[in-house]
Chain A
Protein backbone atom coordinates (compact mmCIF):
# COMPACT_ATOMS: atom_id res chain seq x y z
CA UNK A 1 0.00 0.00 0.00
CA UNK A 2 1.28 3.45 -0.93
CA UNK A 3 -0.27 6.49 0.71
CA UNK A 4 0.42 10.22 0.57
CA UNK A 5 -1.94 12.12 2.80
CA UNK A 6 -2.50 15.30 4.80
CA UNK A 7 -4.13 13.24 7.54
CA UNK A 8 -2.46 11.63 10.56
CA UNK A 9 -0.91 8.24 9.81
CA UNK A 10 -2.26 5.14 11.51
CA UNK A 11 0.90 3.06 11.84
CA UNK A 12 -0.96 0.06 13.30
CA UNK A 13 -3.31 -0.09 10.31
CA UNK A 14 -0.41 0.40 7.87
CA UNK A 15 1.59 -2.35 9.58
CA UNK A 16 -1.45 -4.63 9.30
CA UNK A 17 -1.30 -4.36 5.49
CA UNK A 18 2.00 -6.32 5.45
CA UNK A 19 0.93 -8.94 8.00
CA UNK A 20 0.59 -12.33 6.35
CA UNK A 21 0.79 -15.90 7.63
CA UNK A 22 3.89 -16.40 5.45
CA UNK A 23 5.69 -13.51 7.10
CA UNK A 24 7.41 -14.29 10.38
CA UNK A 25 9.15 -10.91 10.57
CA UNK A 26 7.44 -7.53 10.36
CA UNK A 27 9.45 -4.31 10.75
CA UNK A 28 7.82 -0.89 10.89
CA UNK A 29 9.83 2.34 10.80
CA UNK A 30 8.24 5.56 12.04
CA UNK A 31 9.69 8.90 11.06
CA UNK A 32 8.68 11.29 13.83
CA UNK A 33 9.03 15.05 13.76
CA UNK A 34 11.79 16.21 16.11
CA UNK A 35 11.55 19.17 18.47
CA UNK A 36 14.99 20.58 17.69
CA UNK A 37 17.55 20.90 14.93
CA UNK A 38 21.16 21.74 15.80
CA UNK A 39 19.96 23.07 19.13
CA UNK A 40 17.25 25.31 17.65
CA UNK A 41 13.73 24.65 18.85
CA UNK A 42 11.43 23.52 16.05
CA UNK A 43 7.80 24.63 16.45
CA UNK A 44 6.25 22.55 13.67
CA UNK A 45 7.03 21.28 10.19
CA UNK A 46 5.52 21.36 6.77
CA UNK A 47 6.00 18.77 4.08
CA UNK A 48 5.43 19.53 0.44
CA UNK A 49 5.26 16.84 -2.25
CA UNK A 50 5.13 16.51 -6.00
CA UNK A 51 2.32 14.05 -5.37
CA UNK A 52 2.07 12.16 -8.67
CA UNK A 53 5.81 11.64 -8.98
CA UNK A 54 6.28 10.87 -5.29
CA UNK A 55 3.57 8.21 -5.41
CA UNK A 56 5.02 6.72 -8.55
CA UNK A 57 8.50 6.55 -7.01
CA UNK A 58 7.18 5.03 -3.79
CA UNK A 59 5.38 2.37 -5.87
CA UNK A 60 8.68 1.65 -7.64
CA UNK A 61 10.54 1.35 -4.34
CA UNK A 62 7.92 -1.09 -3.01
CA UNK A 63 8.29 -3.15 -6.20
CA UNK A 64 12.07 -3.09 -5.81
CA UNK A 65 11.67 -4.55 -2.33
CA UNK A 66 9.55 -7.39 -3.69
CA UNK A 67 12.13 -8.20 -6.34
CA UNK A 68 15.17 -7.96 -4.02
CA UNK A 69 13.61 -9.83 -1.09
CA UNK A 70 11.30 -12.51 -2.44
CA UNK A 71 7.91 -12.85 -0.78
CA UNK A 72 8.26 -9.56 1.11
CA UNK A 73 5.38 -7.14 1.46
CA UNK A 74 5.99 -3.40 1.70
CA UNK A 75 3.76 -0.46 2.55
CA UNK A 76 4.83 3.18 2.63
CA UNK A 77 2.86 6.17 3.89
CA UNK A 78 4.00 9.80 4.02
CA UNK A 79 2.30 12.88 5.42
CA UNK A 80 2.35 16.22 3.71
CA UNK A 81 1.12 19.61 4.83
CA UNK A 82 1.57 20.79 8.41
CA UNK A 83 2.84 18.20 10.90
CA UNK A 84 3.17 18.92 14.61
CA UNK A 85 6.18 17.94 16.74
CA UNK A 86 6.03 14.31 17.83
CA UNK A 87 3.66 13.28 15.04
CA UNK A 88 4.49 10.55 12.57
CA UNK A 89 5.42 11.85 9.12
CA UNK A 90 6.58 8.58 7.56
CA UNK A 91 5.62 4.94 8.02
CA UNK A 92 7.51 2.14 6.27
CA UNK A 93 6.24 -1.37 7.03
CA UNK A 94 7.87 -4.50 5.66
CA UNK A 95 6.82 -8.09 6.19
CA UNK A 96 9.14 -10.97 5.24
CA UNK A 97 9.37 -14.65 6.02
CA UNK A 98 12.36 -13.97 8.31
CA UNK A 99 13.53 -10.98 10.34
CA UNK A 100 16.84 -10.35 8.56
CA UNK A 101 15.13 -9.53 5.25
CA UNK A 102 12.50 -7.43 7.01
CA UNK A 103 15.12 -5.27 8.79
CA UNK A 104 17.25 -4.93 5.65
CA UNK A 105 14.32 -4.12 3.37
CA UNK A 106 12.91 -1.53 5.77
CA UNK A 107 16.27 0.27 6.03
CA UNK A 108 16.62 0.12 2.25
CA UNK A 109 13.24 1.76 1.74
CA UNK A 110 13.90 4.60 4.19
CA UNK A 111 17.27 5.33 2.57
CA UNK A 112 15.75 5.33 -0.91
CA UNK A 113 13.00 7.71 0.13
CA UNK A 114 15.51 10.20 1.52
CA UNK A 115 17.64 9.93 -1.60
CA UNK A 116 15.34 11.19 -4.32
CA UNK A 117 11.60 10.99 -3.71
CA UNK A 118 10.24 14.50 -4.32
CA UNK A 119 9.04 15.38 -0.84
CA UNK A 120 10.37 18.46 0.92
CA UNK A 121 10.46 19.43 4.57
CA UNK A 122 10.31 22.91 5.99
CA UNK A 123 11.16 23.53 9.63
CA UNK A 124 9.53 26.43 11.44
CA UNK A 125 11.53 28.03 14.25
CA UNK A 126 10.60 30.88 16.59
CA UNK A 127 12.78 33.19 14.48
CA UNK A 128 12.36 31.87 10.96
CA UNK A 129 11.86 28.91 8.68
CA UNK A 130 14.17 26.68 6.63
CA UNK A 131 13.70 24.30 3.72
CA UNK A 132 15.76 21.31 4.82
CA UNK A 133 18.36 20.33 2.25
CA UNK A 134 18.46 23.71 0.57
CA UNK A 135 19.67 26.24 3.05
CA UNK A 136 22.70 24.79 4.75
CA UNK A 137 22.16 21.31 6.07
CA UNK A 138 21.65 18.11 4.12
CA UNK A 139 22.27 19.68 0.73
CA UNK A 140 22.71 16.84 -1.72
CA UNK A 141 23.03 16.82 -5.46
CA UNK A 142 22.94 13.55 -7.34
Chain B
Protein backbone atom coordinates (compact mmCIF):
# COMPACT_ATOMS: atom_id res chain seq x y z
CA UNK B 1 0.00 0.00 0.00
CA UNK B 2 1.07 3.57 -0.58
CA UNK B 3 0.99 5.80 2.48
CA UNK B 4 0.96 9.57 2.35
CA UNK B 5 2.27 10.83 5.66
CA UNK B 6 1.43 14.39 6.63
CA UNK B 7 4.19 16.55 8.08
CA UNK B 8 3.82 19.68 10.15
CA UNK B 9 5.94 22.43 11.63
CA UNK B 10 9.60 21.50 11.97
CA UNK B 11 9.14 18.20 10.12
CA UNK B 12 7.44 19.90 7.15
CA UNK B 13 10.26 22.41 7.11
CA UNK B 14 12.98 19.74 7.25
CA UNK B 15 11.41 17.76 4.42
CA UNK B 16 10.55 20.91 2.45
CA UNK B 17 7.22 19.20 1.77
CA UNK B 18 3.84 18.86 3.50
CA UNK B 19 3.90 15.08 3.13
CA UNK B 20 6.09 12.12 2.26
CA UNK B 21 5.04 8.93 0.53
CA UNK B 22 6.05 5.42 1.56
CA UNK B 23 5.35 2.05 -0.03
CA UNK B 24 4.70 -0.54 2.70
CA UNK B 25 2.85 -3.83 3.13
CA UNK B 26 -0.75 -3.63 4.40
CA UNK B 27 -0.90 -3.91 8.19
CA UNK B 28 2.58 -2.51 8.80
CA UNK B 29 3.03 -1.26 12.34
CA UNK B 30 3.71 2.37 13.15
CA UNK B 31 7.15 1.31 14.46
CA UNK B 32 8.02 -0.32 11.10
CA UNK B 33 6.66 2.68 9.23
CA UNK B 34 8.90 5.01 11.26
CA UNK B 35 11.90 2.74 10.66
CA UNK B 36 11.25 2.86 6.91
CA UNK B 37 10.92 6.61 7.10
CA UNK B 38 14.32 6.85 8.85
CA UNK B 39 15.86 4.84 6.03
CA UNK B 40 14.25 6.78 3.19
CA UNK B 41 14.53 10.22 4.75
CA UNK B 42 17.58 10.24 7.01
CA UNK B 43 17.68 13.40 9.08
CA UNK B 44 13.92 13.87 9.15
CA UNK B 45 13.35 12.10 12.47
CA UNK B 46 16.49 13.05 14.33
CA UNK B 47 14.33 13.52 17.43
CA UNK B 48 12.16 10.44 16.88
CA UNK B 49 11.29 9.75 20.55
CA UNK B 50 9.42 13.04 20.82
CA UNK B 51 7.41 12.54 17.62
CA UNK B 52 3.88 11.22 18.01
CA UNK B 53 1.86 9.55 15.28
CA UNK B 54 -1.80 10.18 14.52
CA UNK B 55 -3.87 7.79 12.43
CA UNK B 56 -7.24 9.08 11.29
CA UNK B 57 -6.76 12.03 13.66
CA UNK B 58 -6.22 9.90 16.79
CA UNK B 59 -2.88 9.41 18.55
CA UNK B 60 -1.74 5.79 18.29
CA UNK B 61 1.02 3.68 19.81
CA UNK B 62 3.94 2.21 17.89
CA UNK B 63 2.30 -1.22 17.74
CA UNK B 64 -0.73 0.13 15.86
CA UNK B 65 -1.24 -1.47 12.43
CA UNK B 66 -1.64 0.93 9.54
CA UNK B 67 -4.24 0.25 6.84
CA UNK B 68 -4.54 1.33 3.27
CA UNK B 69 -6.39 4.64 3.08
CA UNK B 70 -5.58 5.69 6.66
CA UNK B 71 -4.83 9.36 7.20
CA UNK B 72 -1.42 9.40 8.84
CA UNK B 73 0.37 12.36 10.37
CA UNK B 74 3.58 12.86 12.30
CA UNK B 75 3.06 15.17 15.24
CA UNK B 76 6.14 16.91 16.64
CA UNK B 77 5.83 18.35 20.19
CA UNK B 78 2.96 20.81 20.24
CA UNK B 79 2.87 24.31 21.63
CA UNK B 80 -0.78 25.22 21.67
CA UNK B 81 -1.86 28.42 23.28
CA UNK B 82 0.28 30.77 25.26
CA UNK B 83 3.30 29.13 26.85
Contacts and interface: CB of A to CB of B under 8 A. Distances in A.
Contacts, number: 93
A3 B54 CA distance: 21
Interface in A98-123: 110, 113-122
A138 B80 CA distance: 11
A50 B79 contact: no
B76 A90 contact: no
B79 A33 contact: no
A56 B59 CA distance: 12
Nearest to B47: A134
B9 A134 contact: yes
B20 to A, nearest CB: 15
B50 A119 contact: no
A124 interface: no
Interface string B11-25: 011000000000000
Interface size band for B: 20 to 34
A16 interface: no
A63 interface: no
Contact of B57 (A30, A48, A53, A113): A53
Contacts of A69: none
Nearest to B49: A141
A113 B6 CA distance: 21
Contacts of A54: 80
A29 to B, nearest CB: 8
Given A120-B8, A134-B10, A139-B50, A50 B82 contact: no
A31 interface: yes
13 contacts: A33-B82, A49-B8, A89-B81, A90-B81, A113-B80, A114-B78, A118-B73, A120-B78, A131-B76, A132-B79, A139-B50, A141-B77, A142-B52
Interface of B: 6, 8-10, 12-13, 47, 49-50, 52, 54, 57, 59, 73, 75-83
Q: Which 8 A-B pairs have the closest CB atoms?
A: A31-B82, A133-B77, A120-B9, A121-B79, A53-B57, A132-B79, A141-B50, A90-B81
